[in-house]
Amino acid sequence: MPFAEVNGIRMYYESHGQGEAVVFAHGAGGNHLSWWQQVPHFRQKYRVITFDHRGFGLSNDVEGGPGANAFVEDLRALLDHLQVEKAHLVAQSMGGGTCMGFTIAYPERVKSLVMADTTGTMTDPKLDDLRRRFRESQPQPFTLQGRAYSPRLRETRPHLAFLYDSIMGLNPPRAQASGERNPREVATTERLAGLEVPVMFIVGEQDAIVPPSIIEYAASLVPGARFEQVAESGHSVYFEQAPEFNRLVSAFFESAGRAGPK
């Protein structure tokens, strides 16, 4: 199994296909296996890279280490290890912190960015307030449990719900991150306004963690960003409505390639 010694840890990754690199960054409910519906589709044209964030799946973390605060530099080190100079980034939920943070810190290494059901490291007074008010309006504690996908998925496609839960169950217990996020990675209003990377936001219409209204406002902070809302999906569009997710992302990559740098 492929492991890379990066940033003080052994990171598990997989690479499939050839062509421009596409990196998929999973959310807190997943790991590299989460992308089983994306890898076969995108490897026909791209070099598809999946990985386990530190502390997830088969990637270890260090005792008392930085945890999630190291995700961005972990990704940089992985791309260096794989000799990938520039890549398309696709982020799901928690992975948005990794990919948006990487894009802000290393924009020259990003061909395009897809933010799925996430606002990542974005910060803006109104956005921060929208997120706070939404979370406070929800039953507490506000956790991933029961919100990772639409409740109807368990009724209409119980096999998919079972698989999602099984993949999530492979993750070890999560440790609390120590330290603070690197300020270079925070997507402030000013940085977002000057971002020259093509960006698309995708959200499920029934997302119970980051609702469409919040994602739509987040998209408005990035000049030229696309916003797509997918019907009959909750927080995990890539998993619940994979054909539509794959179609949207494929079309976005094509348009980003035709347009070139912004």
Which pair of structure tokens corresponds to residue 49? 């890279």
Mean pLDDT of 131-144: 88
The answer, yes or no, to whether residue 158 has pLDDT greater than 60, is yes
Mean pLDDT of 155-161: 97
Task: Please report the pLDDT score of residue 237 as a whole number.
Answer: 98
Mean pLDDT for the chain?
A: 94
Q: State yes or no: cis peptide before 40, omega within 30 of 0.
A: no
- One-letter amino acid of 41: H
Contacts of 173 (CB under 8 A, 6+ apart): none
Question: Model confidence at 174, in pLDDT bands (50, 70, 90)?
Answer: confident
Mean pLDDT of 76-99: 98
**Dist CA 5 CA 89 (whole Å):** 21
The answer, yes or no, to whether residue 180 has pLDDT greater than 80, is no
Q: At what angle do helices 95-105 and 71-81 cross, to 10 degrees?
A: 70
| Residue whose structure tokens are 């997507």 | 187
Question: Model confidence at 259, in pLDDT bands (50, 70, 90)?
Answer: low
Question: Model confidence at 257, in pLDDT bands (50, 70, 90)?
Answer: confident
* Segment among 116-125, 158-167, 180-189 with least mean pLDDT: 180-189
Mean pLDDT of 163-182: 83
Contacts of 100 (CB under 8 A, 6+ apart): 91, 113, 115, 118, 119, 120, 121, 122, 185, 187
Task: Please report the pLDDT score of residue 260 as a whole number.
Answer: 58
Query: Which listed CATH number (1.10.1060.10, 3.40.50.1820, 3.40.718.10, 3.30.70.660) goes with 3-257?
Result: 3.40.50.1820
Tens of pLDDT, residues 209-237: 999 999 999 999 999 999 999 999 999 99
pTM of the model: 0.95
Q: Domain locations in the chain? A: 3-257
Tens of pLDDT, residues 204-214: 999 999 999 99
Tens of pLDDT, residues 16-70: 999 999 999 999 999 999 999 999 999 999 999 999 999 999 999 988 889 999 9
Give the up-direction half-sphere exposure of residue 17: CA atoms within 13 A in the CB hemisphere.
Answer: 18
Question: Model confidence at 14, in pLDDT bands (50, 70, 90)?
Answer: very high
How much of the chain, in percent, has pLDDT values that exceed 90?
A: 87
Tell me how far CA of residue 80 lies from CA of 6, 7, 74, 87, 198, in angstroms: 9, 11, 10, 12, 22
- One-letter amino acid of 115: M
For the chain, what percentages of helix, strand and coil (3-state, to nearest 5) are there? 40, 20, 40
- In three-state form (DSSP H/G/I as H, E/B as E, the rest C), the secondary structure along 45-83 is CCEEEEECCCCCCCCCCCCCCCHHHHHHHHHHHHHHHCC
How much of the chain, in percent, has pLDDT values that exceed 70?
A: 95
Residue 70's nearest CA partner among 178, 231, 157, 172 is: 178
Mean pLDDT of 248-260: 87
Work out whether strand 87-92 and strand 110-116 pair parallel, antiparallel, or are unpaired: parallel
Contacts of 215 (CB under 8 A, 6+ apart): 115, 117, 118, 119, 201, 202, 203, 207, 227
